C-alpha cells in the first residue's frame, strides 16, 4: 500500500485533500461528520462500554 504524505479525506472512496493537516476530512465530509457526530459518539460510547464489559469478563475468566 502506498501512503502519501498528502493529507486526504479519511472517508473511504474520497480522496479529496483536507483543508489543513489537523483535519481528517475534506470540507464536504467534515460537514456530514459534524452532523452525524452525536450519533457516532453515542455509538462509540456504546461500543466502548460493550468492549469494557467483555474485557472484564475475559480478565475474570483468566484469573485462577
Ligand atoms: Zn471527503
- DSSP string covering the chain, please? ----SS-B--STT--PBPSSTT-SS-HHHHHHHHHHHHHHHHHHHHHHHHHHHHHHHHHHHH--
CA distance 20 to 58: 41
Task: State the residue range of the domain holding 44.
Answer: 27-63
- Please report the pLDDT score of residue 34 as a whole number: 81
Q: Indicate whether 7 belongs to any domain.
A: no
Over the stretch 3-62, which tens digit does the pLDDT of each residue have?
556 788 988 899 899 988 788 889 888 888 788 877 777 887 888 889 999 999 999 999
Rounded to the nearest angstrom, the distance between the alpha carbon of 39 and the centre of ligand 1 is: 19
Q: Indicate whether 16 belongs to any domain.
A: no
CA distances in angstroms from 50 to 4, 53, 57, 60, listed in the order given: 35, 5, 11, 16
Q: Indicate whether 14 belongs to any domain.
A: no
- Please report the pLDDT score of residue 53 as a whole number: 92
DSSP symbol at 21: T
Q: How many domains does the chain have?
A: 1
Rounded to the nearest angstrom, the distance between the alpha carbon of 18 and the centre of ligand 1 is: 8
Q: Indicate whether 32 belongs to any domain.
A: yes
Rounded to the nearest angstrom, the distance between the alpha carbon of 55 and the centre of ligand 1 is: 34
Q: Indicate whether 57 belongs to any domain.
A: yes
Q: Indicate whether 9 belongs to any domain.
A: no
Amino acid at each position: 500500500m502506498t501512503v502519501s504524505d498528502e493529507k486526504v479525506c479519511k472517508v473511504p472512496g474520497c480522496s479529496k485533500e483536507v483543508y489543513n493537516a489537523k483535519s481528517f476530512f475534506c470540507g464536504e465530509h467534515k460537514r456530514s461528520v459534524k452532523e452525524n457526530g452525536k450519533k457516532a459518539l453515542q455509538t462509540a460510547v456504546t461500543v466502548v462500554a460493550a468492549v469494557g464489559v467483555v474485557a472484564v469478563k475475559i480478565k475474570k475468566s483468566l484469573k485462577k
